[in-house]
Amino acid sequence: MTDPAPDLLELRGVSKHFGSFRAVDEVGFTVRAGARHAVIGPNGAGKSTLFGLVSGTLAATAGSLLLDGRDVTRLPVHRRVGLGIAATFQHSSLFLPETVLENVLLAALRRAGAGAGAGVEAAAGAGLGGRRKAGARAAATARARTLLERVGLPTRHDVPAAELSHGERRQLEVAVALATEPRLLLLDEPAAGMSPAETERLTRLIAALPDDVTVLLIEHDLDMVFELADTVTVMHLGHHLTTGPPDEVRASAEVQSAYLGTTEVSS
């Protein structure tokens, strides 16, 4: 019998209050290493606030977050990225005037240590330092091309990101996130605004990610959730309602009542 995977992420009584409004209130659950873990719930459940707490774009009012046993509750976004947390958000954070390749290359260079301010011209320079930078750029370029092929954009390298379709921008955002070599990939409603064909393509992309990338997904598209996720957490009015396998969550009377107000959670 195979031992269960260890927990990569643990939330302990995590809360976020805005004055008297408790957007997230004492939420606690774990995410196993290698999991495809979805968080669902109706509008106002606190999902996006929870996403911000894990990614570091919001500071917790109370509670703690642990990544592989290390407390990251007070760490800023860039420190979390350095520890292996990457995120894509509902609103694009791409460099739209730059090409598809340059967007991924910048992330890969930063991960390689070329420096956050180095940009896509990080290889410029002379002497030994210049040769090292050139070598780093060559390696980062090769990695960027591999990632673009993985996410389904192998022929779009030289296209400005601004010219991509909505679905292609989502694919590019995943490539940019993967360029940071994440252990935990956070996806905030990645299928929002997508056509059925684009959603199907994105679902295949996420499903094909390597096992060493743990995925925490927030999504309203339940078809996508129940196809991808091996674990589902349900939130309701800022609280953690339940966590379990998809079939168990789908069959839960508590979930049906609180989440959909119906007698069946469809797939």
Distance, CA of 255 to CA of 267 (rounded, Å): 14
Distance, CA of 70 to CA of 9 (rounded, Å): 9
| Domain boundaries, given as residue ranges, for the chain | 7-84+182-260
Q: Please measure the distance between the N-terminal and C-terminal CA atoms of the chain and give it in whole angstroms.
A: 30
Please state the CATH superfamily assignment of the domain spanning residues 7-84+182-260 in this structure.
P-loop containing nucleotide triphosphate hydrolases (3.40.50.300)
Q: Each residue of 17-58: pLDDT tens digit?
A: 999 999 999 999 999 999 999 999 988 899 999 999 999 999
Q: Return the pLDDT at 125.
A: 44
What is the DSSP annotation of 53-91? Answer: HHHTSS--SEEEEEETTEE-TT--HHHHHHHTEEEE-SS
The two tokens of residue 28 are: 């606690």
Distance, CA of 10 to CA of 240 (rounded, Å): 13
Residue 127 burial (C-beta neighbours within 10 Å; 0-12, 13-18, 19+):
exposed
| pLDDT tens series, the chain, 267 aa | 566 789 999 999 999 999 999 999 999 999 999 999 999 998 889 999 999 999 999 999 999 999 999 999 999 999 999 999 999 987 778 999 999 999 999 998 887 764 444 444 444 444 445 556 777 788 889 999 999 999 999 999 999 999 999 899 999 999 999 999 999 999 999 988 888 988 898 899 999 999 999 999 999 888 999 999 999 999 999 999 999 999 999 899 888 887 655 444 544
Distance, CA of 98 to CA of 204 (rounded, Å): 26
Cα dihedral 223, 54, 106, 35 sign:
negative
